[in-house]
Structure 1
Amino acid sequence: MASKVELVVEVKSPAEKLWTALRDSTELFPKIFPEQYKSIEIVEGDGKSAGTVRLLKYAEGVPLVTFAKEKVEVADDEKKVVSYSVVDGELVSFYTNFKVTVQVTPSTKDGADGGAVVNWTMNFDKASEQVPDPDVIKETADKTFHDLDEYLLKN
């Protein structure tokens, strides 16, 4: 049964700066989130466009997963949207389909310019009814966007 989880995060960083950081996550995330990522490697493709496959190795202590292989399905810099499916790793045994889409838009809250809104959507099919909802992944995504925002505001 297909399930969908959505998350909306407002950040202070400009949309363009946040988008660039997300697109550079292969190099950036292991540096600024060593408690989460041991490494992120490009296995196939250029690292940015659709068809790219990345291998994410998680740090010790990260719940549920030691690694994940993800394939970029959509990469649209103009619309600031990226979508990827998990194709290998522990998540594949829990979820027969696991896809995440991230879109960054400039914030127009209170008519103020600056800041961005991240729309994060996770679509998944549980392998069985015993598999829990991936709440920890949503919580991690939320924390990552806030921590990335903090990092970008200082750098």
Structure 2
Amino acid sequence: MTLAGTLETELELKSPADKYFKRISSELHQAPNASSDKVHAVEVHEGDWETPGSVKIWTYTMNGKQEVLKDKIEVDEAKKSVTFVAVDGHVLEKYKSYKVTLHIVPKGEASVAKITVDFEKQHESHDDPKDYLQFVISLIKDIDEHLASQAD
């Protein structure tokens, strides 16, 4: 069994790529408004909401348990890509490394979210982070619905 791996999937979004990318790259404080059953708070720990390299602290519910994640954000404006690299928190109890990359691709008036989860397990007995991937998918859908419900 290998300790490192990658999970990938794609989601069709209703939101235009620019609007969705702006929300995930510089407006993460809106995540609890879009998905209050999952995300309880996103706070700046270091830096600010817009600067790549800034560190955020997420408080969320995963599989019925409250968890915390501290991540560093990497933004590629040209590619409309945002990467969240875990630097502390519950996810690192099972994984030596964990990062989620969201690449937002325009598709007509809407867009597609390409999701990549790269990880390395602490121990081979730990499962791949499929539950975390499902959490990310659900959050992406919630943000998309929230954006679609807002007037421009």
- TM-score w.r.t. length of structure 1: 0.87
User: Which residue is equivalent to 2:97?
Assistant: 97
Structure 1: segments with no counterpart, 5+ residues? 108-112
The number of residue pairs the alignment matches comes to 147
Once the two structures are TM-superposed, the CA of residue 65 in structure 1 deviates from its matched residue by 5.2
- Trace 1:13-24 onto structure 2 (pairs within 5 A): 13-24=15-26
User: Which residue is equivalent to 1:110?
Assistant: none
RMSD of Structure 2 on Structure 1 (CA): 1.5
Once the two structures are TM-superposed, the CA of residue 25 in structure 1 deviates from its matched residue by 4.2
SS of the equivalent of 2:29 reads helix
SS of the equivalent of 1:4 reads strand
Within 2, Cα distance between the matches of 1:50 and 1:23?
Answer: 9
SS of the equivalent of 2:78 reads coil
User: Which residue is equivalent to 2:134?
Assistant: 139
Check whether the contact 1:83–1:99 (CA below 8 A) recurs between aligned residues.
Answer: yes
Once the two structures are TM-superposed, the CA of residue 71 in structure 1 deviates from its matched residue by 1.0
- Kindly indicate which of the two structures has a greater share of residues assigned to strand: 2
User: Which residue is equivalent to 1:70?
Assistant: 71
Within 1, Cα distance between the matches of 2:93 and 2:143?
Answer: 29
Within 1, Cα distance between the matches of 2:115 and 2:81?
Answer: 10
Once the two structures are TM-superposed, the CA of residue 3 in structure 1 deviates from its matched residue by 0.3
Q: Does 1:125 align with 2:120?
A: yes
SS of the equivalent of 2:134 reads helix
Check whether the contact 1:48–1:75 (CA below 8 A) recurs between aligned residues.
Answer: no
Once the two structures are TM-superposed, the CA of residue 79 in structure 1 deviates from its matched residue by 1.9
Within 1, Cα distance between the matches of 2:26 and 2:11?
Answer: 19
Check whether the contact 1:65–1:90 (CA below 8 A) recurs between aligned residues.
Answer: no
CA displacement 1:89-129 (0-9 Å, x = unmatched): 1111100011111110101xxxxx21101111010001001
